[in-house]
Structure 1
Amino acid sequence: MDVNLCFSLLTLLILAPQEAVGEATTEPQTHLHLSTANFRLGEEHASGLSKTYLNYDYDYYYQEPGVEPPTFMARPQTFTVEVGQSVIIPCDVENPSGRNKLIIKKQPASGGSEKLLSVGSDKVTPDPRIDIKGSRLTISHTRPRDAGTFLCQFDLEPPVQLRHTLDVQFAPTVRALVPPEQHVAKGNSVTLECKANGNPEPNIRWSHQEGRLPSGYHTSQGPRLTLENVDRRAEGTYLCTADNGIGEPASAAMSITVEYPPEVVAEKTIVRTGEDDNVELVCIVHGRPAPEVVWTRDGQSLPDSIMDTKLHQPRTHTAHDAHMTQNHVAHRHILSIKPVTEKDFGSYVCIAENDHGKESAVIQMTGLPKPPVITSSPNGGESDSYTFTMETESYYPITEFIIKYRKTHPGAWHRNYTVMAGKWRSFSKIVGNEVVQHGTRHSLAYRLENLEVATDYMAMLRVRNKYGWSSESDRFSFFTKKAMAVLQSTSGTGCRETAWAFLLLLLLALSLTAM
């Protein structure tokens, strides 16, 4: 016999047990309407026992004359719970008399077909988290898939329905939509993107683990982050963080590696040293891929060093260059010279090269003295002379100096109404014991004479050791004593008044002495 037909007959017997099949009755008849009947057998295992249940997917209704149709006591509600919590869906009924059975169904929030959960007191769904007690449905340990619309209904004509909505909130998850590591050439643009899932809809923010974003801001909002015209400052790990206030925020990490040609800066462009000294010439090198660094002196390549600058492995070197070694720590590339000889003086170049280009920096290693620094006060305190004091650094004794000076304003106005400075004059002197030496620091003093009274001057100095002259010092302004100019500028017509004043002072002094 057909299975569907068997269950149809079984349903007729369950729903109308008082009536005998084929027997006439004078009582008011109950009309049964069946449509889209579809029954399936299923099996549920609990506590080691097995029971058979019916999974219903049909519509039916009773019409009983003289019986008040049932009504729902509750109003439509929206229930919001966090994942893992329990919730009760109320389908409380007023006028529950009659043979009409309460049906509870669910329409998933994500779409899909309607599901029958219970008919009367019989639970149809096999989900063990769902419990039916009277007209109330309880869901324990809610999950995101439990969200949706729950229908409490009686299949009457017209239907009696009550709709409840369940919103299940859950902590966010996030995943990257781009590779976890990207290599980008300098000057290009790159976009990072991630996708977040959660309820409520999570907010997405971007941050840079190494500090601020290249834009200068600490964070940026939105599912995408675009970095334009990138340079090495854009390198690092970027975090896409999703947060909706439920549970803990979730993050996905993406890293950016920027490839760019070498960037080279000399730590000191001029290194002053002397024989038997130990020096280090240092270049700061950046680049991606890591550049290969070589050194030259006066245009000639230096032999291999004792340390490979890429692999950090020892290398052999020739004996005659044993006092020169190369190594690097992080981005500092160092050429060590121990001890310095006179032939080591010259122009050194560190050259860095990778797949994107080549760059270099020049370091002058010299025995010349450092340009002197004038330490005397601009106000010399002398009427027609000025005493210079100066300091310089040199690994060798200072043997000579030159003072170049001129008047700042000659005091003459020219046709174009501009004041012209005086001509440069120079004075040189060979020195010896008058130079005071403390290590590599040298100081001396010299009095420049035959200057004009109350006059502004400008001067520059150079010093010399056995390897040659230093560069010029910074320009230094000074002036002769200006108070003397007032006395000397007294005119001939004023001499008489000055003499009378002097005589009066003398008489006053004598009278005081006689008393």
Structure 2
Amino acid sequence: MFTRRSALLRELCLFALFAGTAGLVEEELYQGPTDGLPYFMSEPTVIKTTENDTVVLPCFVENLGDSRVQWWRGERLLADSSGEAPSFVVERVRMGPDNGLEVAAIIADDAGEYECRVERPSPWEPIVQKHSIQVLYNPTVSLSPPGPVMDVRIGDEVSIMCDAFAFPTPTVSWSHMGNLPEDSSSLSGVRSSRLIFKATSRRLAGLYTCTAQNGVGGPVSATVRLRILHPPEVTVEEERVHATPGLRAELICIVTAEPTAKVVWTRGKHPLPQTSRIIRKVNGDRYSLVFHRVLSDDLTSYTCTATNNLGQDQRTLMLTGVAREAVIKAERMSDENDDDSVKLIWEAESYTPIINYKLEFRRTSGPGGASNWTEVVIPADGQSALVHSKSFMLRGLSPGTRYEAAVHSRNAYGWSLPSQVLAFSTNGGQPNADDAQATDNEHIKSSESNSEEDSKSSEAVVGIIAGEDEVVATDEVEEVVEKAAIQSSQPRLHWTQVELTADHTSSASTASAISSLLLLTIVMTTVSSS
């Protein structure tokens, strides 16, 4: 009997112990109403706020009684309802009358999880409710490598890292003066972006801006100035500067270099000293040599040399008294029946009177294709103005045919450079851009001469001059010679030396060219004798 009662009592104790343990487990999982025990009336909360605001995290507890409420953040105790000072004190954080946690003057570091913990009487475990604060703040942007300037050599790879910190996560973009390099790529992470490209050209230098935005406030940017280190590059606006003694003149070099180049002006092999009459000026990338009053000895060539630790470059400029290149145009005859003539008009700038002009022209279409160049030396009108103008009539041209022409001007200092080649046509023909592109410019340029000896040499080969400002291109030589002899009581048929420019591959074209040259010479000498 005793044994049976002892076994029953042992079973009742085990049952009570099991029931108590089960109740503790159930209470940890379920934090709702329990007879006589504290439980939460509030719900877990996520509060989104911005910096400098104040938030209150709720912790409403029913049946609190003598139980204690604590607020924790990780392993740090922030507040305790018992009045005991927490081990970690934050002046901006305090517990309110309803056990809520008030956080004032919010900063970005306040973002995270907070726990409201209620200590219950033994043997019950504490109950915990979690809340969180999300601080929405404007991005802060930083670049790597740091610093306002980044230096790379031309041809090197450029790599710029942009880190953007914000909540919510920002989007990051790059810009460079409106456009990024064509071969650039950007590698984006959660809060960063890396811009990568190759510095293939000095034009890629300049400001690179990383911009981050997340909808909180406006976009935020960080900028770095990329310097692409390269040797100097020297260019000029005008290689030949027209000048005359007594007037002011200026030679200009444009120098691009990184780092900045040292620029030296030389005349011949010797550096040019600065005087009160000849001074050097610098305006950005423009380096000038200014002659306040040009002397005759100043009319020569000068070299602008730029040097930095990566290399050197130079250009030579000419201060010259020769005329500027002429500007030429053509006028067709208004008479539809006059389809073998074209009037050429040009203007040239020269401080000194122009002595004569050299006109070069050729056919670019028609039988046999393009012809060789024909030269005509034309007397000037002796104008004393800065701008000299001249008109000249080409007659006896082939109807409906394309031609091109260029003109040089000669003053006391020699021959100018040729004008731009002009494409024109007689009535019934149309200028062709392809013809103009195929112009034998080297032939024209090779005929220029700037020295006095070259000028005399040119006079020796002058052969086609028309006294009435016109050239007659015709084959009727015998008839014209006979008429000239009859009209002149003492005809002086002087054979001027000429430069034969006919195509020797064709006997017909050769005869035509010779006839034209003879006729032109006869017209000149006949007019001069009358």
TM-score class, shorter-chain normalisation, is: 0.5 to 0.7
Distance 1:389 1:144 in 2: 79
| 1:189 counterpart residue number | 157
Distance 1:267 1:394 in 2: 19
| 2:347 counterpart residue number | 391
SS at match of 1:339: coil
Q: Kindly, what percent of the aligned residue pairs are identical?
A: 27
| 2:377 counterpart residue number | 428
In the TM superposition, residue 170 of structure 1 has moved relative to its aligned partner by: 3.8
| 1:148 counterpart residue number | 113
In the TM superposition, residue 77 of structure 1 has moved relative to its aligned partner by: 1.9
In the TM superposition, residue 262 of structure 1 has moved relative to its aligned partner by: 0.7
Q: Would you say 1:81 and 2:49 are equivalent positions?
A: yes
Pairs within 5 Å for 1:503-514: none
1:378-429 alpha-carbon deviations (Å, 9 max, x no partner): 3464365544333222222222233344445554xxxxxxx43455544334
Distance 2:400 2:51 in 1: 92
Pairs within 5 Å for 1:269-308: 269-297=239-267, 299-305=268-274
TM-score (norm 1): 0.64
| 2:178 counterpart residue number | 212
| 1:105 counterpart residue number | 71
* Structure 2 letter corresponding to 1:192: I
Asked whether the 8 Å contact 2:153–2:199 carries over to 1, the reply is no
Pairs within 5 Å for 1:48-87: 67-87=35-55
| 2:509 counterpart residue number | none
Asked whether the 8 Å contact 2:113–2:132 carries over to 1, the reply is yes
Asked whether the 8 Å contact 1:380–1:479 carries over to 2, the reply is no
| 2:145 counterpart residue number | 178
Cα 1:397–1:246 change in 2 (3 A) is same
SS at match of 1:142: coil
* Structure 2 letter corresponding to 1:388: L
| 2:357 counterpart residue number | 401
* Structure 1 letter corresponding to 2:104: S
Asked whether the 8 Å contact 1:152–1:161 carries over to 2, the reply is yes
Q: Would you say 1:354 and 2:319 are equivalent positions?
A: no
Distance 2:115 2:245 in 1: 94
Distance 2:222 2:64 in 1: 54
Distance 1:364 1:275 in 2: 14
Distance 2:125 2:340 in 1: 123
In the TM superposition, residue 441 of structure 1 has moved relative to its aligned partner by: 1.1
Distance 1:424 1:257 in 2: 51
Q: Would you say 1:160 and 2:121 are equivalent positions?
A: no
Instruction: Decide which moves more: 117-126 or 280-289.
Output: 117-126
| Structure 1 unaligned blocks of 5 or more | 1-65, 306-316, 412-418, 483-515
Cα 1:118–1:186 change in 2 (3 A) is same
Cα 1:403–1:121 change in 2 (3 A) is closer
SS at match of 2:353: coil
In the TM superposition, residue 462 of structure 1 has moved relative to its aligned partner by: 3.1
Distance 1:228 1:94 in 2: 67
Residue-pair matches, total: 384
Asked whether the 8 Å contact 1:207–1:219 carries over to 2, the reply is no
Asked whether the 8 Å contact 2:44–2:129 carries over to 1, the reply is yes
Which structure has greater strand proportion? Answer: 1
In the TM superposition, residue 265 of structure 1 has moved relative to its aligned partner by: 0.8
TM-score (norm 2): 0.62
SS at match of 1:284: strand
1:444-477 alpha-carbon deviations (Å, 9 max, x no partner): 2334445566665544433322222233441442
SS at match of 1:377: strand
In the TM superposition, residue 336 of structure 1 has moved relative to its aligned partner by: 1.4
Distance 1:283 1:460 in 2: 29
Cα 1:161–1:292 change in 2 (3 A) is closer
In the TM superposition, residue 283 of structure 1 has moved relative to its aligned partner by: 0.3
Distance 1:410 1:138 in 2: 99
| 2:480 counterpart residue number | none
Residue of 232, 248, 260 corresponding to 2:230:
260
Distance 2:340 2:427 in 1: 6
Instruction: Decide which moves more: 361-370 or 257-266.
Output: 361-370
Asked whether the 8 Å contact 1:183–1:256 carries over to 2, the reply is yes
Cα 1:370–1:237 change in 2 (3 A) is closer
| 1:501 counterpart residue number | none
Q: Would you say 1:333 and 2:322 are equivalent positions?
A: no
Distance 2:195 2:346 in 1: 59
SS at match of 1:215: coil
SS at match of 1:179: coil
Q: Would you say 1:465 and 2:431 are equivalent positions?
A: no
SS at match of 1:343: helix
Which structure has greater helix proportion? Answer: 2
Instruction: Decide which moves more: 253-262 or 352-361.
Output: 253-262
Distance 1:410 1:178 in 2: 68
Asked whether the 8 Å contact 1:177–1:194 carries over to 2, the reply is yes
Instruction: Decide which moves more: 175-184 or 284-293.
Output: 175-184
Asked whether the 8 Å contact 2:342–2:394 carries over to 1, the reply is yes
Q: Would you say 1:118 and 2:80 are equivalent positions?
A: yes
In the TM superposition, residue 261 of structure 1 has moved relative to its aligned partner by: 0.9
Cα 1:74–1:338 change in 2 (3 A) is closer
1:338-377 alpha-carbon deviations (Å, 9 max, x no partner): 3223332232221101111000112222222234333341
* Structure 1 letter corresponding to 2:72: K
In the TM superposition, residue 131 of structure 1 has moved relative to its aligned partner by: 2.3
In the TM superposition, residue 278 of structure 1 has moved relative to its aligned partner by: 1.6
| 2:387 counterpart residue number | 441
Distance 1:176 1:103 in 2: 46
Asked whether the 8 Å contact 1:452–1:480 carries over to 2, the reply is no
| Structure 2 unaligned blocks of 5 or more | 1-33, 430-530
Asked whether the 8 Å contact 1:380–1:386 carries over to 2, the reply is no
In the TM superposition, residue 334 of structure 1 has moved relative to its aligned partner by: 0.7
RMSD: 3.7
1:22-71 alpha-carbon deviations (Å, 9 max, x no partner): xxxxxxxxxxxxxxxxxxxxxxxxxxxxxxxxxxxxxxxxxxxx954332
| 2:464 counterpart residue number | none
Higher-Rg member (1/2): 1
| 1:38 counterpart residue number | none
Cα 1:179–1:136 change in 2 (3 A) is closer
In the TM superposition, residue 281 of structure 1 has moved relative to its aligned partner by: 0.3
